[in-house]
Amino acid sequence: MNTFDDREAAFEAKFAHDEETKFKAEARANKKLGLWAADLLGKSGSDAESYAMTVISADFEEAGHDDVIRKVVADLGNKSDEATIRAKRRESLAAAKEELAGDS
């Protein structure tokens, strides 16, 4: 293998790692958001965990996180507004990225 092939392989490996980390951060952020919403809905324990999993699953409906926001907005009704939910999602994503950075 020559230097060009080595560099190409390294870039591909870095891209794959970055994408995996991004996926993990998004899933972790959605779980955090789901647990926060579950608390507002009065859920705890396994019920809260189950609800958080439905929030994670909602992210597979379309690209981006608007599908997650729509689900949580609909589920919470008048318990929270969209702006607060979006802010909580951003906060959750920042915390998830920080946790993942600490794990490595």
At 48-93, the pLDDT tens digits run: 999 999 999 998 888 788 999 999 999 999 999 999 999 999 999 9
Band of pLDDT at residue 14, cut at 50, 70 and 90: confident
Q: Is the pLDDT of residue 104 over 70?
A: no
Average pLDDT rounded to a whole number, residues 7-13: 83
Q: Which pLDDT score is estimated for 99?
A: 92
pTM: 0.84
Domain, as residue range, for 29: 3-103
Backbone dihedral region for residue 44 (phi beyond 0: left; psi -120 to 50: alpha; all else: beta): beta
Question: Rounded to an integer, what distance in angstroms lies between the CA atom of residue 25 and that of residue 22?
Answer: 5
Domain count, the chain: 1
Nearest to 85 by CA among 63, 55, 45: 55
